Every structure is written in structure tokens, then in C-alpha cells.
Structure 1
Amino acid sequence: MSTPATSRHHKRPRGEGQWALGYREPLNKNEENKKNDDGLNVRQRIIDIYSKRGFDSIDPADLRGRMRWYGLYTQRKPGIDGGKTAILEPEELDDRYFMLRVRIDGGQLSIPQLRVIADISNDYGRGTADLTDRQNVQLHWIEIESVPDIWERLEAVGLSTTEACGDTPRVILGCPLAGIDTDEVLDASEEIRLLNERFIGDPAFSNLPRKFKSAVSGCPSHCTVHEINDVAFVGVELPSGEKGYDLWVGGGLSTNPMFGKRLGVFVRPEQVGDVYGGVIGIFRDYGYRRLRHRARIKFLVNDWGVEKFREVLETEYLKEALPDGPAPEAPRGSRRDHVGVHPQKDGNFYVGFAPKVGRLDGDKLHVIADIAERHGSGRVRTTVEQKMVVLDVPPDQVDSLVAELEANDLQVNPSTFRRQTMACTGIEFCKLAIVETKATAANLIDELERRLPDFAEPLTINVNGCPNSCARIQVADIGLKGQLVVDENGEQVEGYQIHLGGSLGVNPGFGRKVRGLKTTAEALPDYVERVVKHYDAQKKEGESFADWVQRADEGDLR
């Protein structure tokens, strides 16, 4: 571990708790728990003690802390309304069941892996299975007694829940089309595999200041949203024809959104492991550990600036300079989700489809596996838009595959609203949530399809149950942040603060907040219909919703 103590640019107030400056004393309860016992050590206690003695035997520091290192969170006790979210103690919000997050690095799944997740969902999770916007699958209603068997089943097919949550290097995003996209800059699958092998579950990186989100991709559509990851490697090509990665650090949303910043370096594929290790090492050693809400790497990058971050990376961690490199090309197309039927490099086709707001179940996962297998595919993928893709479909099988998917409401040619609406878990299961999300978003899709059947422009609608932006509200065309609002009768009801015109890509920007712009959940379809109609009537040739929002009259945004 690098621990230079006093060089001129490392002076920082003792209060930030940066290890590299010699300040190792825990400054809050989370840091204390991690110092007392590494989160990775909870696995054996779950197997040997908690699964045998039951929920009441679980140490509170494990229950609300270390168990996250293995993808386990207690879910919200049913019947607690959103007004109590910030008032009740954790033990009052905890149910005796868990959400379990299965990490799917690069979104890569074989048919046997998909079937195992489906079986676990049906056997232990009451059939629940949600696709997340980080390519994972989340199950609910998991009892502690079931966890060892679930792990055995997952690990038998090469899957894991290790560091799916917690202050750790979480799932590594990758393009679902890696290796098959006709236009990809390069295939990042091997880099993702090696990062997983080298860093996931390593105690040297299991006590970070907070979560650490990563992406490695050569996708021409920039589907892994590199701009909002803690670290991202984006495929680029030098004038000489050599291919490698452009390095971005310090992206993230939540209550203090920041876009990642280019370090301006060129990283050869074989250097990705060392560079990733350097970035995560800087975060571990220099990251702020005093206040949880300032403990993400984006705050360090923001305070240091790109030049200093690069200097520390090269001199203290890599012990060599990285060459300057080019910025990525502009993203291909206006949608990043890989939905639809498209040719692969090898003459076969991939078929992307849209479950409604990422919600599936164990039976439906089996159906997807059956359909894929019948049509010659042994591989499926998850995307960062809560969608799925079937790979390797022979040309003469495409029409039949599409027909079977659509017959099961897995739409290959969805409306804009089905295709581009996403929702976080919401109050149904999440202890941080204030409002319902999945059902509200699904109802919104149905209403908009009925009311605006001919609207076909790209339009993202992201629905979040609290301010933390798991569903990326600040970078959506219409971002909906859950909160309690007062309706026309003076009653406090579920509703949303509205962010408009957020975007990634060529002109990234966070959504515009119009003073006092809120809606009740009940009035949400009316509001979205109204603002979409204004855009449709006023847009110039080729003008995006985000661009229109910047020039629109405030009255047209209400």
C-alpha cells in the first residue's frame, strides 16, 4: 500500500481521515465497523452461524453493514409509508428478508447461468427478479437460512454475489455486444475477466471509503455510461491504428452529481489491470473517510483536479508515465440500449428486448432461456438500461425468435416509452425510498402508449424513489425524484420533483430544475403527456428533447 506522508501536494485537514496522510483512526461508525472486521469475513459467519440459527442471531454490525459485502441488504418491512423513511430507526425499517444482488460483470450470462438464477428466484425469492441499470439481477424475499445453498448454486455455474454491494469494487460494466458488434473499437471481455479475477474479493481493496463503480468497454454507442462511473475505460484508436482505452475518473450522481473527467492518457489493454489498481488504490488511500456523503472518489477528483490525480497515479502507483491519448469518438446513434435486431460480425444476429422497467420473474427467465436455446443461442446479456439481449441468432431463426419474445411481452420493437423508461426498486422493497416506482412507471408506460401512440422520438424517463439517483434521474430527459407532495385537497401524497433535459453523450448536462415543478403520482401521466406534446409541437428538425428544454418557455415545461 502506498503511504507517502508529507509531499507538498498531499496536505489536507486531518478531519478527512485520509489513510495516506497517516490518519487511520475511524471517524464514523461505518469506518469503525470496517476496522473492527473486514466485510469479507462475514461469509463464514453466514454459513456457520446465521443460516443455522436464523435471523435473530445476526450481529447488527453484520446485518446492516458487512453482509452487503456479499450482496445482501435487509428489505423494507411492508406497510411503512414514505413519510417514515427518514424518521424510523434501521431496526424498525428492517424486514426479516433480504434483497440479494447477483453480480453479472460485463452483463455476460450463459443459458445455464440464467436458468440457475431463475431456479433460485422461484425456490427462494417468491419468483422475484429485477434487472438493474448496472447489469445485475436482484432477488427479494431471501431468508438467511437459504443463502449458503444459493451461493453453492451460483458458484457452481461461475456466478457470485461477492462485493455486489458494500464499500467495495462493485460490478464491472461492459458492453453486452463485446466481441460481436460490427463497429466496436475493441472487445473488453478479457480485461473485465482479469479485473474480476485480480480485484474482486481481495482484502487489499475490500475497505474503500465507499462504493466504487467501474466500466470497461469498446462500445461505439458508449452503452456503459462511462461519464457517471467512478472509473471508466473507453475504447479509442490512435492515428497509428493501435487500440486501447481513454481513462475517465470521478463520475457519479446521487445528491451531488458530477461527470467523470478525462485524464487524457492512453491505456494499452495489457495495462488496464495496473491502472485500475492505481485508481482504486488512490481512492482507498486518499479518499475521504470522515463524512459518508463526501466519501466517493468524485469529491477527491474535484478537489485535486485532473493534473494532480494523473501525477499521483503515475508517480506513486504506476511508477511510470502514461502517454497522452485521444478522446473517444462521439457515440453512435441516439439510443444506447441495443434493443432491436442487428447484425453481428460473424453473420448471425443479436436481438435486444425490453421487459417493462426491468421487472421479470423466475418463470419469465426460464422462458427467455428456452426461447434463446431453441433459436441457436447459448448466450444472453443484460444491459445498463434494464434490458436484455440474445446473441448468436442464425439469420433464419430471427423472425421466429422475435415472434416468441413478443408473444411473452418481451418487446423487440417497443414504443419509446417502453424502451426508455427505467425505475429503481422503490418503496416496495427499499428502506431508503419514499414512494413507489416500478408500478408507477409501468402504469405511466401504459398510459403514454395509449395517449401518444405515434410519438417515436428518443425520450428517457427515469423514475427514482428517493434523492439517491439509482435510476440516474439527473441525466434523463424527464427525471422523476420521489418525494411526498401536497395534492389539490391539501393531502400529503406520493409524488415527484421533476428534472428536465438531462443528457449524456455529445452534450452532457444535468437536468433543469424549474422552481416548484412537482407532480403527484396520480397526475404524472397528465404531466408527461402535456410536456411531450409541447416538445413535439415546438421541436426543430433533429432537435432533441434536452436541447428543446434549454430554450423552452417555463410555462411549456409545467
Structure 2
Amino acid sequence: MAQTRIAPPATKNEGQWAFDQREPLNANEQFKQDDDGLNVRQRIEDVYSREGFASIPGQDLRGRMRWWGLYTQRKPGIDGGKTATLEPHELDDEYFMLRVRCDGGRLSLAQLRTIGELSTEFGRGTADVTDRQNIQLHWVRIKDVPEIWRRLEAVGLTTQEACGDVPRVILGSPVAGVAADEIIDGTPAIDIIQGQYIGDPAYSNLPRKFKTAISGSPHHDVVHEINDVSFVGVVHPELGAGFDLWVGGALAANPMLAKRLGAFVPLEDVPDVWAGVVGIFRDYGYRRLRNRARLKFLMADWGPQVFREVLEQEYLGRRLADGPEPAAPPLGRRDHVGVHPQVDGRFYVGAAPTVGRISGPLLTEVADLVEQAGSGRVRLTVEQKLVVLDVAAEQVDALVDGLEALGLQVRSASTFRRGTMACTGIEFCKLAIVETKARGAALVDELERRLPTFEHPLTINLNGCPNSCARIQVADIGLKGALAGGEEGYQVHLGGSLGVDSHLGRTLRGLRIAAEDLPEYVERVATRFDHARLEGESFAEWALRADEADLR
């Protein structure tokens, strides 16, 4: 790395390492400086798993253990009104959520079966597909963690850096390498980044979490607009297929969409460019205030031109070629649900778990179906769905029938089952204030009953708190958990969109929908859209032009 710093002086008061501001400025920066989060694994194996939950000190329990995919889950029976008033130790249960990172959303048959078995044996059968292409288990005891790690690692899986202020799971197209219309397969870059950088102490103390997406799909199937760094498939007129570079997207309480740097990145250069962007975040990222420590704030202050200059001059030592913008994705859904042809003549089959909730026994049954269909590969999507690859034509119907018999709809999936997502919610999450998973599943069932012929694409995202793990600001209907008079309800965001026209949704001020009134509200708004929409108009387009009275 070059010694000369060219960043604007105005950003030199935020605790950046690049300006030798190494004094920890908050408790999180202190525990990270005291001991790298990666080191906690040895203590888990040698001490905590043997001496029990009470032996775990707070900085490890609520801090460093995240570096190995472990969060304490919420103690049962604590209502949402107490989320912000209780101390952390009062919210902690003596059980953990364990996040298994599945880079690129990829799972082999052996990996799928192993996760199912671990869920059944150690997690009370829990397993959720997240919108980050992970699988989360719950009810995990500290004494069982070493054995879970042993079995995961035996089939090539890990929980390393699944959480924490680190580079988290790398999103990838679930149909990379098989889609007939793919621009370029980003899988080789994902493999190099995972093998070379994940677990590297040089990148294990970032200001906050760091999210990556790499996809060569023309359908923009990794929500590149809301990741810290994204590589989006494009075709350069002279250099051929490669990637367009986007930086600085994230949601939560201050949502911002990523910015194009205008740089073209060949496949072989993706790992170096990725490391350069992470290095900028590590060195120039803001560490003084936790709520300003995401890369999006640095991008907002610098702008894409300065960011690209720093990347090229200080971290790469070379200029990147200018490149074209990605083509607009095809209209329609991009969740890969249904039966679709592969480039090799076989088919991939996408199924829709309801709000991402599955179970260990169900995963084992899916593994049996996948094996019977002659496939060995399953993919997870950023829409909380799963996809089976490499299915021969004569096996498709049997696989579809088997999946649908398990409640994983393929051809029969309604727009509501395909388009509804939910975060973990108050059932397990210590930040949540309302229920989401069960509420979302009940909402889907009720909307299917009330609106059986509604077919327009519609995304309904439920979130238990303002952090937007379920991407409420970019959903057609985003529902953010809120309390009104002590009762569970939701604040409404409408008209968010990613893809052809990326933008944040509008908030209807003062509108909070009681939890039991959600089906009636969504039915009312969806019906008004169906009646008032113009030819070819999406819900998001209609919601942005509609009178506010029609949205209430």
C-alpha cells in the first residue's frame, strides 16, 4: 500500500486508522483492539463448551463470538416493549443462533443433509433461509458448538465470519454457471475471496459489517444496490464480459443505495479489487460512532470519483478501465421460482419456502428428493428461496411433485408466497419488538384465501425492528415493526424497488397497522392497485404516483 494519502481532509475526525487515529472510541472498538474476534474459537472449544454458558465473559458473549457466527438469542417471554429498556444480560437466553455461511448460496447434497441433521440433533429442528443466502439454526447450546463445527467443516462448510465486523457471506447468483442467459459466471472470484481473505486477520477488524455481492446474471439477482461492494455482470465493447463496480449500499435506519464507480473489472481482477475496497473501509472507515461506521457514510462524504481515485492510486496501483452500465434487467420476477432451462439442456427447479422458514427434518427430506432426481447441488437465493440444479427433463415432474408435497411450492406458488419475506423477529432476536415469521406466514395464507386470482408481482417484507434485515425500504410493501399502545403493529413503507428503477419507498406518516389488521390492509391496497394500474405498471410505480388516500 502506498504511503501517500489523498483522502479529503474533511474526513479526518472520525477515528480512521489511515490518519493514525487508533485510540478506541467506543466499547466495540475497544474489545476488537483488545483481542481479534477470530481468536475466540479456541476459548469456545477449550473453555466455554466445557465449563458452560456462565463461564463466558461479556466481551466474548456479545462481541467476539459473532466472528464465529454465534449470537445469543432472545429469552422467551420478553415482550417488545422491553427490548430497548432491558440490559443485554436480561435479554440473553442461554441458547444461540448459529449462522452457517453459504457463499454464493451454494450447498452440495452432503452439505444440505448435514445441516438438516445438525438442526434436528442440536437445534430443535429449526432452520431459516435468510435473505443473505445463509441458513440459521436456533436453540444451539454452547457445549454442542465444537461438534457442530466439526461436522460442518467435514463437508466444507463454516460459520467463520458469518457475523461481526468482518466480510460476511458473499452473495452470488443461485444459477451461476448454469443459466442459459448468464453474462459471466462469478463463482471463481467468490472461491478465491473466500479461500484467500475470509479468516485473514488483516480484514477481521472492520468498522462495521461488510457485505459483498458478485453476479453475472442479467436479472440482477443479488440486490447489488444495497451491498457494500457489488460486481454486476456487463459486457465491455472491447474487453468482453466482466463486472461493473458498485460501492456503498446499505439500508437500516439511514438507507442509501450503492454508487457506480464507472469502472470495469475483469473476472480475474475481482479479488484484488474486492480487497482494495475492503482495505479502504478498514483504513478510512469511520470508527468514532457506531451508527456512522458503515461504508455508505464514507461514500456519501467522498463520492464515487474520490473513492475510485483512492482505490486505484493507493490500493491497486493502477487504473481500472471505464466500463458500461449494466443493462436493465428483464421485467418480472427474479426469484428463480419455477422450472427453468439450463444452458446444458437440463433444468433448475426453484421452490418457495414460506418466509424462509424450513426445518431440519424438511431439509433432510429435500436432500432425499434431490438425490432421487439425480442432482447433487442446491442453491439459496436472496429472496429466501431454494433452487435445485441439474435436473434431467424426465425427473422434473417427480421432483416438483415431491417438493410441493413438502409445502415447498414450485409451479403452484402464489405471488404472495413468492414475494413475502420476514426477518427472524421477536421469537429469537434481541433487537426485535414484534413477531415476523409466524405473522408473515399467516399473512400469506390469508391473502391467498382473499385474493386467489391476484397474479401481479408483489413484494411484502416484514421486519421486527428498524434495522431492515428484511429490506423494508426497497419492498413494494415494507412493514416495520412498531408498538402502538403496547400492541404489536407495523409502520408502512410503500413503493420501494430494486432493478429497473431502484429507489426507496415512501413512508406514510402516522400510519400504523395493527398486526391483526395486516391482511385487510394489504388486500385493500393490492385491490386498489389492481383496479387503477396502467398497462405494464408495477406496484412500485403505481404507489409512487397514487394519492395517499389510496394507500391507507
TM range (shorter): over 0.9
Shift of 1:10: 3.5
* Aligned equivalent of 1:269, options 267, 270, 286: 267
Which stretch of the first structure deviates more once superposed, 239-248 or 77-86? Answer: 239-248
User: Paired residue for 2:421?
Assistant: 422
CA distance in 2, matches of 1:247, 1:334: 24
Shift of 1:485: 1.5
> Residue 505 in 1 paired to residue 504 in 2?
no
> Residue 520 in 1 paired to residue 514 in 2?
yes
- Secondary structure at 1:317's aligned position in 2? helix
CA distance in 2, matches of 1:143, 1:240: 55
Shift of 1:237: 0.6
* Aligned equivalent of 1:538, options 519, 529, 532: 532
* Aligned equivalent of 2:216, options 215, 218, 222: 218
The gaps in structure 2 that reach 5 residues or longer are none
Which stretch of the first structure deviates more once superposed, 232-241 or 249-258? Answer: 232-241
Shift of 1:284: 0.0
Shift of 1:551: 1.4
User: Paired residue for 2:407?
Assistant: 409
- Pairing of 1:311-460 with structure 2 (within 5 A): 311-413=309-411, 414-460=413-459
Shift of 1:12: 3.6
- Secondary structure at 1:523's aligned position in 2? helix
Give, as a single letter, the amino acid of the residue that structure 2 aligns with 1:361. Answer: S
CA distance in 1, matches of 2:106, 2:305: 35
> Residue 202 in 1 paired to residue 209 in 2?
no
Q: Is the 8 A contact 1:120 1:150 kept in 2?
A: yes
Give, as a single letter, the amino acid of the residue that structure 2 aligns with 1:422. Answer: M
CA distance in 2, matches of 1:334, 1:22: 49
Shift of 1:525: 0.6
* Aligned equivalent of 2:68, options 67, 70, 73: 70
Q: Is the 8 A contact 1:2 1:285 kept in 2?
A: no
CA distance in 1, matches of 2:510, 2:208: 33
Q: Is the 8 A contact 1:3 1:20 kept in 2?
A: no
Shift of 1:15: 3.7
CA deviation profile, 1:193-234 (whole Å, cap 9, x unmatched): 001011100000000000000001101111000000000001
- Secondary structure at 1:215's aligned position in 2? strand
* Aligned equivalent of 2:489, options 487, 490, 495: 495
Give, as a single letter, the amino acid of the residue that structure 1 aligns with 2:57. Answer: D
- Secondary structure at 2:322's aligned position in 1? coil
CA distance in 1, matches of 2:266, 2:545: 42
Shift of 1:408: 1.0
Give, as a single letter, the amino acid of the residue that structure 1 aligns with 2:91. Answer: L
Q: How many residues get paired?
A: 551
Give, as a single letter, the amino acid of the residue that structure 1 aligns with 2:321. Answer: P
- Secondary structure at 1:369's aligned position in 2? helix
User: Paired residue for 2:26?
Assistant: 28
Distance 1:208 1:2, change over 3 A: farther
CA distance in 2, matches of 1:392, 1:555: 49
Q: Is the 8 A contact 2:231 2:243 kept in 1?
A: yes
Q: Is the 8 A contact 1:4 1:21 kept in 2?
A: no
CA distance in 2, matches of 1:338, 1:449: 20
- Secondary structure at 1:342's aligned position in 2? strand
- Pairing of 1:274-289 with structure 2 (within 5 A): 274-289=272-287
Give, as a single letter, the amino acid of the residue that structure 2 aligns with 1:497. Answer: Q
User: Paired residue for 1:156?
Assistant: 154
- Secondary structure at 1:16's aligned position in 2? coil
Q: Is the 8 A contact 1:2 1:20 kept in 2?
A: no
Shift of 1:506: 1.4
- Secondary structure at 1:503's aligned position in 2? coil
Q: Is the 8 A contact 1:10 1:21 kept in 2?
A: no
Shift of 1:4: 4.1
Q: Is the 8 A contact 1:402 1:412 kept in 2?
A: yes
Give, as a single letter, the amino acid of the residue that structure 1 aligns with 2:297. Answer: F
Give, as a single letter, the amino acid of the residue that structure 2 aligns with 1:390. Answer: V
> Residue 80 in 1 paired to residue 78 in 2?
yes
- Pairing of 1:209-248 with structure 2 (within 5 A): 209-240=207-238, 242-248=240-246
CA distance in 2, matches of 1:276, 1:234: 13
CA distance in 2, matches of 1:240, 1:401: 43
Shift of 1:2: 5.7
User: Paired residue for 1:139?
Assistant: 137
Q: Is the 8 A contact 1:499 1:514 kept in 2?
A: yes
CA deviation profile, 1:474-515 (whole Å, cap 9, x unmatched): 0000000001014xxxxx200000000000111111111122
CA distance in 2, matches of 1:485, 1:448: 24
CA distance in 2, matches of 1:88, 1:52: 29
Give, as a single letter, the amino acid of the residue that structure 2 aligns with 1:78. Answer: P
Distance 1:14 1:542, change over 3 A: closer
Give, as a single letter, the amino acid of the residue that structure 2 aligns with 1:544. Answer: S
Give, as a single letter, the amino acid of the residue that structure 2 aligns with 1:520. Answer: A
Give, as a single letter, the amino acid of the residue that structure 2 aligns with 1:493. Answer: E
CA distance in 2, matches of 1:243, 1:73: 40
- Secondary structure at 1:160's aligned position in 2? coil
Shift of 1:430: 0.0
Q: Is the 8 A contact 2:8 2:302 kept in 1?
A: no
User: Paired residue for 1:172?
Assistant: 170
CA RMSD of aligned residues (A): 1.0
Shift of 1:78: 0.2
CA deviation profile, 1:406-444 (whole Å, cap 9, x unmatched): 111110020000000000000000000000000100000
User: Paired residue for 1:489?
Assistant: none
Q: Is the 8 A contact 1:125 1:141 kept in 2?
A: yes
User: Paired residue for 1:479?
Assistant: 478
CA distance in 1, matches of 2:85, 2:332: 42
CA distance in 2, matches of 1:34, 1:95: 24
CA distance in 2, matches of 1:312, 1:69: 28
CA distance in 2, matches of 1:13, 1:338: 42
Give, as a single letter, the amino acid of the residue that structure 1 aligns with 2:447. Answer: L
What TM-score do you get using the length of structure 2 for normalisation?
A: 0.99
The gaps in structure 1 that reach 5 residues or longer are 487-491
Distance 1:544 1:44, change over 3 A: same
Give, as a single letter, the amino acid of the residue that structure 2 aligns with 1:535. Answer: F
Which stretch of the first structure deviates more once superposed, 201-210 or 264-273? Answer: 264-273
CA deviation profile, 1:323-368 (whole Å, cap 9, x unmatched): 1000111112321110000000010000000011000001100111
Shift of 1:554: 1.1
CA deviation profile, 1:382-420 (whole Å, cap 9, x unmatched): 000000000000001111111111111110020000000
User: Paired residue for 2:113?
Assistant: 115
CA distance in 2, matches of 1:243, 1:412: 32
CA distance in 1, matches of 2:178, 2:86: 49
Shift of 1:238: 1.2
* Aligned equivalent of 2:126, options 125, 128, 139: 128
CA distance in 2, matches of 1:335, 1:241: 30
